Every structure is written in C-alpha cells, then in structure tokens.
Amino acid sequence: MEYIKSKIRDVVDFPTKGVIFKDLTTAFKDPRALHIIGWDLSQLYRDKGVTKVVGIESRGFIGGSILAFELGAGFVPARKPGKLPSDTVSVSYAKEYGTDTIEIHRDAITEDDIVVIHDDVLATGGTMAAAYNLVKSFNPKKIYINFLIEISVLEGRKNLPADADVTSLIVY
C-alpha cells in the first residue's frame, strides 16, 4: 500500500477551499500501482463467488472494471440519469447542496448474483448508501462494498447500512 500511497496526489482546495482532494489519476497512470490495485482488490473477493461488480460513475468505473476482470465477473455501471441506453432503475439521494440520482439497467442484476459495489473514495458515504439501496432492490444473494480510499475523519461508514460488508484498501 505504501507504493500506491506514494502515487496518490493531494490537491489542496479542490473542489472547494479547505478540501484536500486525493487524486487517484496519478496512481492509475502508473503501471505498477495499477497492477497492485487490481491484485489487492481481487484478493479481497477471490473466494466470495462474486458474479457482478457495480462501479459508480465515474472513477469507480476504473477500479470496478479491473476488479470485475480479475474475478471473471460482469461489470455494471451505476450512472447519472440519462446516460444508460435501456430501461433503468434509479434512486435519488440527498447531497450537501441538493439531490442527485444514480441509475443502473433494469436487467443488470439478478437474485442469483453476488455483487461488489465499488467506488474510488469513501468520503461522506451518501452516494454509496444510495448505490447499496439500489442494488439491494434487486435482491441479490450478497452485497459487498469496496473503496480504494477511505477518508476516516469524514466518518462516511456511519452513513452506510449497518449490515454492509465494507472494505477499503487505504484508510487516511
């Protein structure tokens, strides 16, 4: 993890003043870091029977796709409204300054699936909580939640369902 941490760039005052943004693009562009991320993510779920990985728009698509590939699972994008071409199921959720919505295709997940929902960073947890509720509406066998980075001072785990199985590769 130290190698990956060394490749993550801190961007001060982004997206707003006072925030130190953990920029993973610098780790993603490094072949060794990307390989380590893929390997370490897959080891968390290698023996869990995962059949689908849901990646949350947009940075969750990167780690989620790698994880799905490593596990031999399917990949399901969770997108903003109007981005998916077929019939969707959606959930809206509160954010700091209003509401947002995410969608997945209606036929993306079945009751036979074991799902990992992946996003790059756990900050406040609102988007992941919404994604969890959306995936849960499909009644899959099991749902896991995964992040590359967790910003523990923001206490995002408190906003995730108490019964959720949550892992993060790196905790700040």
CATH numbers and ranges of domains, the chain: 48-167 (3.40.50.2020)
* Nearest-angstrom CA–CA distance, 141 and 123: 27
Task: Give catalytic status of residue 2 as yes or no.
Answer: no
3-class state of residue 33 by DSSP: helix
Residue among 9, 32, 59, 70 flagged as catalytic: 59
CA distances from 87 to 66, 78, 109, 110 (A): 26, 13, 13, 15
The whole-number pLDDT of residue 98 equals 80
Classify strands 114-122 and 142-150 as parallel, antiparallel or unpaired. Answer: parallel
Q: Give which of 69, 73, 166, 152 is closest to 119, Cα–Cα.
A: 166
The whole-number pLDDT of residue 9 equals 97
Taking 70 as the pLDDT cut, the residues of the chain under it are none
Task: Give catalytic status of residue 103 as yes or no.
Answer: no
* Nearest-angstrom CA–CA distance, 36 and 24: 13
Residue among 2, 32, 96, 103 flagged as catalytic: 96
